[in-house]
């Protein structure tokens, strides 16, 4: 489609504006993380630091006992464990559920609507029942509690995404394999899951991001630093009367790196998953 010069100019200006809105806060966060406390507290504010100060990163990456670094690295480990555990639980439950709903030709669509409707509800509604259940099985103040709690958020979204990916796979392929004598497990492992790989990668990435950024359950269900995740620990760093903004910025940068790395590795599959079904032959 041929665009007029005015349309191209408008599109270029819009892209520049979006880039500024997205990148400007990130750029300022990076500058803050390498600025000294004096540069960040002096008025007028020094937008460009006089010298690069990497002490905040060293402080967060040290392993000395009872240090800020020990707390941060423990929270990072807990966050990785919770994200991996919750996404694994959701994936194992969502795959058979999404496949069954997809292959029942609309007869179970009402069930998917109910599941997705729970995703629309605010997580605060589930705090009291989840707290009661987790306290009864002695899982409070434990990363396992967050795996279960976060699964209630991620599972509906995961089932919905996977169902859309499985819908794009012709059922005739599975039926042909069944006629040849393949078992259901063989069909899933050899046909369904490989063909749904782009949507699976998209689902895993979004699930990790949802768990990585979750704060409410992490704050309410954990009180020990040995069980807290990154969102709670970073919030604790900012809760003092005098906040070290450089330290907070460095913590934000370090906390964002793992999802960014995962997103880079899954970028191609992510694009393929998001565009699946967008063009019909």
pLDDT-above-70 percentage for the chain: 90
Does residue 199 register a pLDDT over 50? yes
- Helix H segments across 34-108? 37-41, 55-61, 68-103
Angle (CA) 247-258-160 rounded to 5° is 125
pLDDT reported for residue 77: 92
What CA–CA distance (Å, rounded) separates 228 from 142?
Answer: 8
What CA–CA distance (Å, rounded) separates 278 from 264?
Answer: 22
Q: Which two tokens stand for residue 30?
A: 């990076």
What CA–CA distance (Å, rounded) separates 206 from 220?
Answer: 23
Does residue 165 register a pLDDT over 80? yes
What CA–CA distance (Å, rounded) separates 120 from 34?
Answer: 40
How do residues 22-69 score in pLDDT, each as one tens digit? Answer: 888 888 888 888 887 777 777 777 778 778 888 888 888 887 777 778
Catalogue all structural domains in the chain, each as residue range(s) with its CATH number: 62-275 (1.10.3720.10)
Angle in degrees, 0-180, between the axes of helices 68-103 and 230-237, rounded to the nearest 10: 140
pTM for this predicted structure = 0.81
Q: Is the distance from CB of 255 to CB of 213 less than 8 angstroms?
A: no
How do residues 76-132 score in pLDDT, each as one tens digit? Answer: 999 999 999 999 999 999 988 888 888 876 666 777 778 777 777 888 888 888 888
Bond into 44 cis (ω within 30): yes
Confidence label for 278 from pLDDT (cuts 50, 70 and 90): very low
């Amino acid at each position: 489609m041929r665009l007029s010069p005015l349309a191209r100019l408008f599109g270029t200006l819009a892209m520049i504006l979006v880039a500024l809105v997205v990148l400007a806060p990130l750029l300022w966060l990076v500058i803050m993380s390498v600025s000294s406390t004096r540069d960040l507290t002096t008025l007028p504010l020094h937008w460009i630091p006089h010298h690069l100060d990497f002490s905040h990163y060293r402080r967060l990456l040290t392993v000395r006992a009872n240090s800020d670094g020990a707390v941060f690295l423990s929270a990072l480990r807990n966050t990785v464990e919770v994200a991996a555990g919750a996404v694994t639980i959701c994936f194992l439950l969502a795959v058979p559920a999404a496949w069954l709903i997809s292959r029942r030709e609309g007869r179970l669509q009402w069930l998917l609507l109910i599941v997705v409707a729970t995703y629309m509800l605010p997580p605060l509604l589930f705090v009291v029942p989840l707290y009661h259940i987790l306290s009864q099985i002695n899982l409070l103040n434990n990363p396992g509690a967050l795996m279960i709690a976060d699964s209630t958020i991620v599972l509906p979204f995961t089932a919905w995404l996977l169902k859309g990916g499985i819908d794009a796979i012709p059922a005739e392929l599975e039926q042909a394999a069944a006629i040849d004598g393949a078992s259901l497990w063989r069909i899933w492992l050899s046909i369904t899951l490989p063909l749904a790989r782009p949507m699976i990668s998209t689902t895993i990435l979004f699930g990790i991001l949802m768990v990585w950024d979750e704060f409410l359950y992490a704050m309410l269900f954990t009180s020990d630093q040995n069980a807290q995740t990154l969102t709670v620990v970073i919030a604790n760093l900012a809760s003092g009367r005098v906040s070290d903004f450089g330290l907070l910025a460095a913590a934000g940068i370090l906390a964002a790196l793992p999802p960014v790395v995962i997103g880079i590795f899954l970028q191609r599959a992510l694009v393929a998953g998001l565009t699946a079904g967008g063009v019909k032959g």
